[in-house]
């Protein structure tokens, strides 16, 4: 958890910073607050924040002087300044004092969240924390939510299980589904690890942006799309504020550089109505193939002949996934061929066929990533399924899909050994070789092993019982302790030898790990 101190001489602004953001969701903890620089400097000694978020203009000691003092006494602390428009150039000069970033009033809370997450290593730590929290209850909730959208016949005890999992979803209320497609993931080779990390933050960021008047439950479907289940307040006329959604989409495109498309299903009653609305939202999403990304498509606005959601159902996805898990290439391709035949028999439009074809490919790619496989490793040649399906005719698309699946099965057969232990041990060896590099991080391990970071963390934690960050710290601290015991080197030299450019930060890490400072231990 990243520790944050907030500093401002206006109580109303402190209250705003304290309450407007769900800090824990993004991997942050508010440890203390102060009303001026002098008070902040005193509290920093006890609270030991990682980040100080401070106004510039304050009595007794302003933000610039506070930054200067913190840089001298606590160089490991990152400072973000908040400034008024009239102080803009003033704030830019503050960068020379060690300020890592600044934001200009007035600002949206999302801009503040992104500024904090953009600090070095914060996004990876936040994602890692998020992954660690996927305990048994989290997995149970995800499983129950997926049952709502995938099962034609819901289990008799589903409503009771939803209640036990603290999911306030019942037969009496009305709901609609909103499905979000992150288009950047379609361009596999241009998609970066950072984009994947931002995607995992997208749902809570949107939930926070839209406010907490309604409880929205979000999860991912089998194809990696983000699904929101949104209740309807029956005592108020229902309206979906598409302008708010469009503003958020522009914000994501400009600041995170992800293209997203939103499909909105109709409003339906009860648990079974959620599945219906989800399928409608997916049907609405299919229109992005002719109208483009960064749009909102509502099922209610689709013409009657285009409402074909009933054919390509979630059950087909589940059958294909089961065959993938069993490594049964023959049955998988038979199912896919039957989908093609049914699409021809029912004379679906080219647009809807493209949606089906892209869904079949997306399902495979999502499976490979979750199995810890690197897409570039499975398909080392030029690979752009999004372009193929949007530019080729239906026959060429289908040939492409069969080749893609065949190559995946061939790769899986050739690499059939258990991956978790192998990946974890290789990661362990790599950390022990390069821990003394001050710029070393999980991205280096991910690139070396050709494993997606999210699943690398999961496999390492399962096998080693600790996170990669914790293990890296352990290796560095044990090495530092040994070097101090030998008595041949200065502490500043030891700091560099174990991967820390900043002796002050090294001292803090050592004290956190062993309970005493390096000098005291020496």
Average pLDDT score over residue span 397-406: 94
Give the residue among 460, 427, 461, 428 at the shortest CA–CA distance from 133.
Answer: 461
The architecture of the domain spanning 169-306 is 2-Layer Sandwich (3.30)
Euclidean distance between CA atoms 178 and 297, whole angstroms:
10
162-166, 211-215, 374-378, 496-500: range with lowest mean pLDDT: 211-215
Place of tokens 């509502």: 298
Give domain limits for the chain: 2-119, 169-306, 314-414, 419-521
Check if CATH label 1.10.10.60 holds for domain 419-521.
yes
Euclidean distance between CA atoms 147 and 47, whole angstroms:
44
Count of other CB atoms within 10 angstroms of residue 333: 17
Q: Which residues of 4-37 are buried (b: 16+ CB within 10 A; e: fewer)?
A: bbbbbbeeeebeebeeebebebbbbebbbbbbbb
pLDDT at 291 over 70: no
Euclidean distance between CA atoms 143 and 273, whole angstroms:
18
| CATH homologous superfamily of 2-119 | Response regulator (3.40.50.2300)
Q: Tokens standing for 401?
A: 């899909």
Euclidean distance between CA atoms 366 and 330, whole angstroms:
20
In terms of pLDDT, which residue wins out, 7 or 151?
Answer: 7
465-476 pLDDT, tens digit each: 788 888 898 899
Give the residue among 249, 264, 123 at the shortest CA–CA distance from 193.
Answer: 123
26-35, 73-82, 193-202, 503-512: range with lowest mean pLDDT: 193-202
Count of other CB atoms within 10 angstroms of residue 378: 20
pLDDT at 274 over 90: yes
Q: Tokens standing for 217?
A: 């439950």
Euclidean distance between CA atoms 232 and 217, whole angstroms:
13
Main-chain dihedrals φ then ψ at residue 184, nearest 5 degrees: -60, -25
426-446 pLDDT, tens digit each: 899 999 999 998 888 787 888
Helix ranges (H only) for 103-241 are 109-117, 122-132, 136-150, 158-164, 193-210
Q: What sign does the dihedral 152-156-160-164 (CA atoms) show?
A: negative
Q: Tokens standing for 497?
A: 């030898």
The CB-side HSE value for 108 (13 A sphere, CA atoms) comes to: 13
Is omega for the bond preceding 106 within 30 degrees of 0, making it cis?
yes
Euclidean distance between CA atoms 231 and 277, whole angstroms:
12
The residues pairing with 79 across neighbouring beta strands, listed in sequence order, are: 52
pLDDT at 322: 77
Average pLDDT score over residue span 501-510: 78
Euclidean distance between CA atoms 459 and 449, whole angstroms:
12
pLDDT at 419: 64
In the β-sheet with 101-104, what is the strand arrangement from edge to edge? 28-34, 2-7, 51-55, 78-83, 101-104
Give the residue among 116, 113, 43 at the shortest CA–CA distance from 74.
Answer: 43
Main-chain dihedrals φ then ψ at residue 268, nearest 5 degrees: -140, 160
> Is residue 20 classed as helix, strand or coil in its secondary structure?
coil
Q: Is the pTM of this model over 0.75?
A: no
Average pLDDT score over residue span 120-146: 63
Average pLDDT score over residue span 80-101: 67
Report the chain's C-alpha Rg in angstroms: 26
pLDDT at 248: 84
In terms of pLDDT, which residue wins out, 481 or 326?
Answer: 481
Main-chain dihedrals φ then ψ at residue 228, nearest 5 degrees: -110, 135
pLDDT at 31: 93
């Amino acid at each position: 958890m990243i520790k944050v101190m907030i500093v401002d001489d206006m109580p109303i602004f402190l209250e705003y910073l304290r309450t407007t953001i769900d800090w824990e969701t993004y991997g942050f903890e508010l440890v203390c607050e102060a009303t001026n620089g002098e008070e902040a400097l005193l509290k920093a000694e006890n609270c030991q924040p990682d980040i100080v978020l401070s106004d510039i203009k304050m009595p007794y000691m302003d933000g610039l002087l506070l930054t200067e003092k913190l840089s001298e006494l606590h160089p490991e602390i990152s400072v973000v300044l908040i400034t008024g428009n009239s102080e803009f150039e003033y704030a830019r000069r503050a960068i020379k004092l060690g300020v890592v970033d600044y934001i200009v009033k007035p600002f949206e809370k999302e801009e503040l969240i992104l500024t904090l997450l953009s600090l070095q290593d914060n996004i990876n730590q936040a994602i890692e924390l998020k992954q660690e929290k996927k305990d048994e209850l989290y997995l149970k909730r995800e499983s129950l939510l997926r049952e709502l959208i995938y099962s034609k016949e819901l289990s008799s005890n589903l409503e009771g299980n939803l209640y036990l999992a603290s999911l306030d979803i019942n037969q009496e209320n009305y709901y609609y589904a909103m499905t979000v497609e992150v288009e950047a993931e379609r361009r596999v080779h241009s998609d970066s690890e950072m984009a994947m990390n931002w995607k995992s933050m997208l749902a809570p960021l949107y939930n926070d942006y839209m406010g907490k008047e309604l409880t929205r439950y979000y999860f991912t479907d089998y194809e990696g799309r983000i699904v929101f289940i949104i209740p309807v307040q029956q005592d108020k006329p229902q309206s979906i504020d598409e302008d708010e959604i469009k503003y958020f989409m522009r914000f994501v495109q400009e600041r995170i550089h992800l293209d997203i498309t939103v499909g909105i299903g109709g409003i339906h009653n009860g648990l079974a109505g959620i599945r219906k609305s989800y399928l409608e939202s997916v049907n609405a999403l299919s229109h992005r193939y002719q109208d483009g990304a960064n749009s909102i498509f509502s099922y209610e606005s689709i013409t009657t002949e285009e409402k074909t959601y009933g054919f390509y159902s979630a059950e087909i996805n589940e059958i294909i996934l089961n065959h993938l898990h069993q490594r049964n290439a023959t049955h998988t391709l038979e199912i896919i061929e039957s989908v093609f035949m049914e699409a021809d028999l029912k004379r679906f439009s080219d647009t809807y066929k493209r949606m089906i074809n892209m869904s079949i490919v997306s399902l495979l790619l999502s499976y490979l990533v979750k199995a810890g496989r690197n897409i570039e490793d499975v398909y080392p040649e030029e690979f752009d399924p999004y372009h193929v399906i949007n530019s080729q005719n239906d026959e060429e698309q289908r040939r492409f899909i069969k080749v893609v699946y065949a190559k995946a099965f061939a790769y899986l057969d050739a690499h059939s050994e258990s991956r978790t232990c192998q990946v974890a041990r290789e990661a362990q060896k790599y950390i022990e070789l390069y821990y003394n590099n001050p710029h070393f991080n999980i991205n280096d391990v991910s690139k070396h092993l050709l494993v997606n970071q999210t699943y690398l963390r999961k496999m390492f934690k399962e096998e080693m019982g600790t996170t990669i960050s914790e293990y890296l710290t352990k290796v560095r601290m044990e090495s530092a302790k040994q070097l101090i015991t030998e008595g041949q080197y200065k502490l500043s030299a030891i700091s560099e030898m174990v991967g820390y450019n900043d002796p002050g930060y090294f001292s803090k890490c050592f004290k956190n790990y062993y309970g005493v400072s390096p000098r005291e231990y020496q």
